[in-house]
């Protein structure tokens, strides 16, 4: 398998994986949105019978109060119900729920990219290190098919192809101009291979950048919508008590927290792997210079 076919096959599989992950994300988002809307309809349908029952039982309240006052017994205070993240989500507006689910999916995608990059970068480091040790020991041919698995190995193989082509057309001698053109072709070919490998390593980095840049604003949208719900509750119930305002404020703050929870790791992971890619660029550039110098020595020695 040559370099172009290997790169094409790898890129094709990566494109299929990216497309599959996006389809899964869209399907999950659509299913979650449908579930939220159905849940909201069920809650609104169950709220109406509860209101009717409360209205029917309202006239009996004075009699119950008189019995309680007549007995003179003190009623113990009822414990307050817990109001955590789950309760905030369940009481949130359907649109805010959709925003929360979208942010959770973005967070899951971010952590998935993290684990995928850890595996890819770690594997690339080990393979380049193995090849570099064999190259400096003069035992590159012993790697065999493992050359295709290393970025440096693919660069070296491309350089050897150019060198073999040069030797076939060398003829009686080699002038300085032909040698310079050979070294330039080796540098260009190695640069092409290097760019392909760096492009593969940089996949999904744009997704991290997008999540890090947009997740806070998506959370802010949920925040604004939750605050609007609070003001709508005040206008509807003609009351500004904490019981009226608290649910809308709680869902607004939860949307903000989820936006930050999605954006902060995405930015940190993006910066970390951007530095790693820059390190790979430097390592491959150094190897390219070392390889060209080695080819030049071979030509000077007549090998």
Q: What is the pLDDT of residues 191-226, one digit of tens each?
A: 998 999 888 888 889 999 999 999 999 999 988 888
pLDDT of residue 93: 77
pLDDT at 157 over 80: yes
Q: What is the pLDDT of residues 53-90, one digit of tens each?
A: 444 444 444 444 443 444 444 444 444 556 677 777 77
Q: How far is CA 301 from the centre of its chain?
A: 51
Yes or no: say if 10 and 154 are a contact pair by the CB < 8 Å rule: no
Q: Which contiguous run of DSSP H or E holds residue 151?
A: helix 151-168
Give the single-character DSSP code of 59: G
3-state secondary structure of 84: coil
Give the single-character DSSP code of 147: G
pTM of the model: 0.65
Structure tokens at 33: 């949105």
Compute the distance between CA of residue 201 and CA of residue 10 in angstroms, rounded to an integer: 11
- Over pLDDT 70: what percentage of the chain? 70
pLDDT of residue 111: 94
Least confident residue range of 4-8, 131-135, 250-254: 4-8
């Amino acid at each position: 398998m040559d370099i172009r076919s290997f790169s094409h096959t790898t890129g094709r599989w990566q494109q299929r994986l990216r497309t599959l992950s996006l389809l899964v994300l869209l399907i999950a988002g659509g299913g979650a949105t449908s579930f939220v809307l159905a849940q909201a309809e069920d809650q609104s349908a169950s709220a109406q019978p509860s209101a009717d029952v409360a209205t029917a039982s309202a006239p009996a309240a004075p009699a119950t109060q008189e019995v309680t006052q007549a007995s003179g017994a003190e009623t113990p205070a009822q414990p307050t119900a817990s109001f955590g993240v789950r309760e905030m989500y369940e009481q949130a507006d359907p649109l805010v729920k959709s925003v929360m689910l979208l942010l959770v999916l973005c967070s899951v995608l971010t952590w998935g990219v993290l684990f995928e990059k850890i595996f890819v970068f770690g594997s690339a480091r080990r393979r380049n290190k193995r090849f570099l040790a064999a190259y400096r020991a003069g035992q590159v041919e012993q790697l065999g098919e493992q050359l295709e698995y290393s970025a440096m190995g693919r660069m070296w193989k491309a350089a050897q192809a150019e060198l073999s082509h040069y030797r076939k057309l060398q003829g009686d001698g080699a002038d300085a101009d032909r040698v310079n053109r050979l070294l330039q072709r080796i540098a260009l070919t190695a640069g092409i291979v290097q760019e392909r490998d760096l492009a593969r390593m940089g996949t999904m980095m744009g997704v991290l950048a997008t999540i890090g840049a947009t997740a806070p604003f998506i959370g802010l949208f949920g925040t604004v919508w939750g605050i609007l719900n609070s003001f709508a509750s005040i206008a509807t119930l003609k009351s500004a008590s904490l019981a009226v305002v608290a649910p809308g404020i709680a869902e607004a703050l939860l949307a903000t927290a989820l936006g930050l929870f999605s954006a902060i790791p995405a930015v940190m992971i993006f910066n970390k792997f951007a530095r790693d890619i820059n390190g790979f660029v430097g390592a491959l550039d150094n190897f390219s210079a070392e390889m060209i110098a080695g080819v030049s020595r071979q030509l000077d020695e007549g090998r």
